[in-house]
Amino acid sequence: MDCRTAHTRLIGAGELQPDEYQAHQDHLAVCAACRDDQDDPFSRALVQTTRELALPPPDFTAKLMQRLPAESPLTLAQQSAQRVQRRWQQIGLAVAAGLSIAVVAGISLQHLWAGTTLGLAADVVLTVAGAAIGPLVTLLGSAVVVTLLLNGVMRRPSVGRALGSAALAALLLLSGGMVTAMNDAANAAASFAQESTIATVLQPIRVTQAIDGDVASLLGTIVVDGLVRGNVASVAGTVTLAPAARVGGDVLAGIGQIQAAPEQVVGAIRSSTGTLAVGTGWFGASGATVTPNVVRSLSALFGALVTLALAGLAVLLWPQRTLRASHVLPRQPWAALGIGVLITVLLVLLTLPVLALLAATVVGLLLVPLLLLAAHLPYVQGLAAVGQALGYRLTGGATVASALWGVAAQLIVVIGLGIWTPFAGLLTFYLLASLGLGADLLARRLLP
């Protein structure tokens, strides 16, 4: 036994095992220095004090165990994630119940709005929905498939699974659009042959002959260069009457533009954004005109800019959440993009049928702007995450100020591309938003 071990055993000499105690005594017999420490009163008092300080209080262990959580941190994190999931499920059920009540109430009270702008819009969508029930069911079925793909990717996130699922979801969306376009073309051809009511969902309509019924479109443009004895209406589209066009009923463009002269329409001209005389420009005699398509694109671009502004607010309100997503973004950018594209496709597949369902009633038609706003709210956090990552690259620091600089950089890019062409600005906006949204979901999955 060496002197260091002997000094250590001086503290607990009374608790040594017999063999340890004998070895300790043997060392004291041959080591005068350790024997002096053993016999010195001051040294023994210091050893006793050190021993008392080294021993914890009797209730120390019990108090420590009381302060510890009953479950492990991993279990607590899983329970927190489950609570968040249940909360979103409850919100989804509440929204579905509210939409159902709105639809039922609108159908029950439909007669109260007969002859009004909203009543005419509801009639349009009912006509279109009846002619396009097949494509709408196809879109809903595709939404179910995309939801299953998203769940599979989130269980086992990887670049291959995310990008593959995103490509399949985009293919389903493209197929749904092709089915809808083919259905529209077939219905329009049959209606033109019978000179009866024409109804489409996405397909533009050009009337060059006499039509005895109505001409209606959801999300499509209508150009009339002939006689329509019924109503001409487009919800979320534009209506243009050529100089030779005549309409025996009303003309409606809900959330769209009408280009017509009052003398061309027997009934009323109803538009949520105003009426333009055919051939008039918006900038005087300069000859420059703004088409309805440009107006819609600029309106959508304005909505994108508002969403980016809200992303800056999200950076200020939830900086830690934004920071976590920005850490995931440079490590798994392609997986984040794939997941974000999946969610974007899912939102499109769900929004179009729900939009048609809401617009089928007067009460529901009033909720359409709220639906479009709600569909873009998930992108706010995604844009904030991309802003945080860009801000770190620009300034070298992960602060709120750098994140705001990153959001401003996105704003400049979207505005610059939007000035060149609104479509490029919108495409960039949705790609950035999808990238950040996927990173936010990955951060929740990987960093509970």
pLDDT for 392? 86
* Confidence check: pLDDT of 248 > 80: yes
For residues 27 and 219, the model is more confident at 27
Greatest mean pLDDT among 91-100, 176-185, 390-399? 390-399
* pLDDT on residue 282: 35
Q: What is the number of other CB atoms lying within 10 angstroms of the CB of residue 279?
A: 10
Question: Average pLDDT for residues 347-365, to the nearest whole number?
Answer: 65
pLDDT at 287: 38
pLDDT greater than 80 at residue 343: yes
Least Cα distance to 345 among 407, 422, 414, 437 occurs for: 437
The larger pLDDT score, comparing residue 51 to residue 211, is at 211
pLDDT at 131 over 60: no
Predicted local confidence at residue 328, as pLDDT: 85
**pLDDT tens, position by position, 11-33:** 555 556 777 777 777 887 888 77
User: Is 351 in contact with 371 (CB distance < 8 Å)?
Assistant: yes
Domain ranges of the chain: 3-64, 69-108, 109-282, 293-446
| Structure-model confidence comparison of residues 157 and 293, the more confident one | 157
Which residue would you say has higher pLDDT here, 440 or 176? 440
Closest CA to 238 of 282, 192, 194, 291: 291
pLDDT digits (tens, 9 = 90+) for 182-191: 766 766 676 6
Q: Predicted confidence band at 55 (pLDDT cuts at 50, 70, 90)?
A: low
Higher pLDDT, 441 or 141: 441
Query: Does residue 304 contact residue 411 with C-beta atoms inside 8 Å?
Result: no
Question: Is 142 or 81 the better-scoring residue by pLDDT?
Answer: 142
| pLDDT the model gives residue 108 | 56
Yes or no: say if 172 and 389 are a contact pair by the CB < 8 Å rule.
no
Residue 52 vs residue 368, higher pLDDT = 368
Of 123-132, 156-165, 434-443, least confident by mean pLDDT is: 123-132
* pLDDT in the model for residue 288: 41
Mean local confidence (pLDDT), 187-204: 70
Phi, psi values for residue 258, rounded to 5°: -115, 130
